[in-house]
Chains A and B, each alone.
Chain A
Amino acid sequence: MSRRYDSRTTIFSPEGRLYQVEYAMEAIGNAGSAIGILAKDGVVLVGEKKTTSKLLQTSKSTEKMYKIDDHVACVVAGIMSDANILINTARVQAQRYTFAYQEPMPVEQLVQSLCDTKQGYTQFGGLRPFGVSFLFAGWDKNFGFQLYMSDPSGNYSGWKAAAIGANNQAAQSMLKQDYKDEINREEAIQLAVKVLSKTMDSTSLTSEKLELAEVFLAPSGEVKYQVCSPESLGKLLVKVGVTQPAAEAS
């Protein structure tokens, strides 16, 4: 009766596993993928948009990139409705910290506070865990640019390059092969797009299927979160060589 241990999030199976947590991770494995790369002068996030219908009107330019505070942004893989709850709590945490200390919240603390919330659902209350993985990109004055990955169990870890969602293992191994220390933001964008183009199911990569955001320092010293417009993303894809300009015209 292995089912006995499936339906409860808070109970270990005889093999010492938490099935609901594993199933949540499985759910993320089918979601649109996302890649984050830590560069010398910033952090790059690239996400795969899964457009379900041509008729679908998206209300804003990004559907899986979210700004959490002036210095932190994240990209989501998994159940969007679950993610919205977590993003909201993350924003509240960031503002609470600013209210208490009049300083931006250190990135790792923000990630940790969110993972505490996630962990709670693997232990208490008999509710299902959040079916969401995040990549967090941010900057703080203590540790500079940072990239973190979190999963439904409430684990988080810092990375130089990371992938979540569908085909994340293939993407991760490609990143491992091609990532170089001292990479700059431009090279990081090219690498991220290249990896995503190879791991995505669709044959041709267009600007509608992709979104790209960067976190970097402006010359004034303030942290900038910038989302790439579809037009410049289209040009970028041609430049990187994953789409042909002729193919786009036809």
Chain B
Amino acid sequence: MECVFGLVGNGFAVVVADSSAVSSILVHKSKEDKVMVLDPHKLMGASGESGDRVQFTEYIQKNVALYQFRNGIPLTTAAAANFTRGELAAALRKSPYHVNILLAGYDKETGPSLYYIDYIAALHKIEKGAFGYGSYFSLAMMDRHYHSNMSVEEAIDLVDKCILEIRTRLVVAPPNFVIKIVDKDGAREYAWRESIKEAGVAPA
């Protein structure tokens, strides 16, 4: 089942998500990217109802882009997080989106930051956080091994510890994970951790 987690290091932030698209007991796909590159310096990791997840994160992405077109300046990570929270809160009393979000970003003035936004529109600025069944294990691992100002190597090492723990202790562990990083040079995919390959289509 779903695992999305992230942490802030020295000059960067990391967001990790499983890449399984499931409905009930069936796995449709094991390479579904759940970490969106929101803009050149923001990552949005999301878990929840998959239709809501895609719809809502794209809606936020397009609105952040619209803001930049209109005003010529990008939103800061904090502003984007508050905007996202506002949209979730507005929808909450009408037709709520079931999405939990980890928003990571890098700003020139404030450096890297990570925000926790859940489907009932709570917003927290955090150093490390997680959503989904995987959170029980990844949060525990991060509580034990996280420290401030981690280097990229240390952070990825911790991410791998979390993934290993999820794979060994979670009954419904997803096979594959995607790791993305955002720092002063921008948001980008860092690596995949795959224990199964997507079955290729046999040549006709």
Output the least CB separation between A13 and chain B (Å).
33
Bound-state Cα–Cα, A209 to B86, Å: 46
The contact of B83 among A101, A108, A141, A142, by CB within 8 Å, is: A101
Q: Closest CB of chain B to A95's CB: distance in Å?
A: 14
Helix, strand, loop or mixed for chain B's interface?
Answer: helix
Contact check, B82 vs A101: say whether CB atoms are below 8 A apart: yes
CB distance from B91 to the nearest CB of A (A): 14
Residues of A within 8 A of B73 (CB): 106, 142
Task: Assess the A100–B86 pair: CB atoms within 8 A.
Answer: yes
Number of interface residues of A (CB under 8 A): 10
Q: How many A-B pairs fall under 8 Å by CB?
A: 22
Which chain A residue shows the least CB distance to B86? A100
Contact B79 A101 (CB under 8 A): yes
* From B73, B78, B109, residue with most partner A Cβ within 10 Å: B73
- Chain B nearest CB from A63 CB (Å) reads 33
By the criterion CB–CB under 8 Å, are A100 and B83 in contact?
yes
Residue interface bits A98-124, CB-to-B below 8 A is 1, else 0: 011111001011000000000000000
Residues of the A chain whose Cβ atoms lie less than 8 Å from the Cβ of B71: 106, 108-109
Residues in B with CB closer than 8 Å to A102 are: 78-79, 82
B151 CB to closest chain A CB (Å) equals 29
Give the distance in Å from the alpha carbon of A99 to the alpha carbon of B82 in the complex.
9
Least Cβ–Cβ distance between A104 and chain B, in angstroms = 10
Does the CB pair B109–A141 fall under 8 Å?
Answer: yes
Instruction: Give chain A residues whose Cβ lies under 8 Å from the Cβ of B78.
Output: 101-103
A108-B73 Cα distance, complex, nearest whole Å: 11
Q: Mark B58-86, 1 if CB is under 8 A from A, else 0.
A: 00000000000001010110110011001
**Nearest CB in chain B: distance from A129 CB, A:** 24
A74 CB to closest chain B CB (Å) equals: 20
Within 8 A of A (CB), among B66-124: 71, 73, 75-76, 78-79, 82-83, 86, 109
B75 touches A101 (CB 8 A): yes
Determine how close the nearest CB of chain B comes to the CB of A213; give it in whole angstroms. 27
Residue of A nearest to B74 (CB): A142
Question: Which residue among A99, A100, A101 has the maximum number of chain B CB atoms within 10 Å of its CB?
Answer: A101
| Nearest chain B residue, comparing its CB with the CB of A142 | B73
CA of A75 to CA of B27, assembled, Å: 64
Q: Which residue of chain B is the closest to A101 with respect to CB atoms?
A: B79
Which one of A99, A100, A102, A109 has the highest number of Cβ atoms from chain B below 10 Å of its Cβ?
A: A102
Asked if B76 contacts A103 (CB within 8 A), the reply is: yes
Determine the distance from Cα of A142 to Cα of B68 in the docked complex, in whole angstroms: 13
Report the Cα distance A142→B79, complex, angstroms: 14
Report chain A residues within 8 Å CB of B83. Answer: 100-101
Which residue from chain A places its CB closest to the CB of B80 in the assembled complex? A101
A-B contact pairs, 6 of them (CB 8 A): A100-B83, A101-B83, A103-B78, A103-B79, A103-B82, A141-B109
Residues of A in contact with B (beta carbons under 8 Å apart) = 99-103, 106, 108-109, 141-142
Given contact pairs A101-B82, A106-B71, enumerate 8 new A-B contacts (beta carbons under 8 Å): A99-B86, A100-B82, A100-B83, A100-B86, A101-B75, A101-B78, A103-B76, A108-B71
